[in-house]
Amino acid sequence: MTMKYQGGCLCGAVRYSAEGEPINQRVCHCRLCQKAIGAAFNARLLFRIDAVAVEGPLAMVNSSSEIRRGFCPHCGTTMFSRRDAAGVMGVTSGSLDDPAAFKPEMHIYTASKQAWLTINDGLPQFEGAPPPA
């Protein structure tokens, strides 16, 4: 059975669906994600770009030379991080209709995690990028 993940923004103007299993599911603590999401970390599911269909008005901003972030121009909800060169798109777990579908596998860029945050979920932690798979 093919998994289908669905979600959207706070106001409902943007909706998306992602087909199949995510490439990975990670919690990123880097400063770029913290700033872009407006929170201590970005919990996201990574898919091939062609597995994600988006409907509605989507605004994009470059947060680095490699990453473009997608958000609703009406309510401001950040839903995506996109690396075109790699052909992948991250979907924020909080924008899922069923956020319980998010099953994190690891924490990355923990060198930038907030000092008040204690990670004790038993998942692997990497101070920077994870090792290649």
Q: What is the mean pLDDT of the chain?
A: 96
pTM metric for this prediction:
0.94
Average pLDDT of span 20-41: 96
pLDDT value of position 4: 95
Domains of the chain, start order:
4-112 (3.90.1590.10)
pLDDT reading at 107 higher than 90? yes
pLDDT value of position 132: 85
pLDDT value of position 3: 87
Distant-in-sequence, close-in-space partners of 52: CB < 8 Å, separation ≥ 6: 16, 17, 18, 80, 89, 91
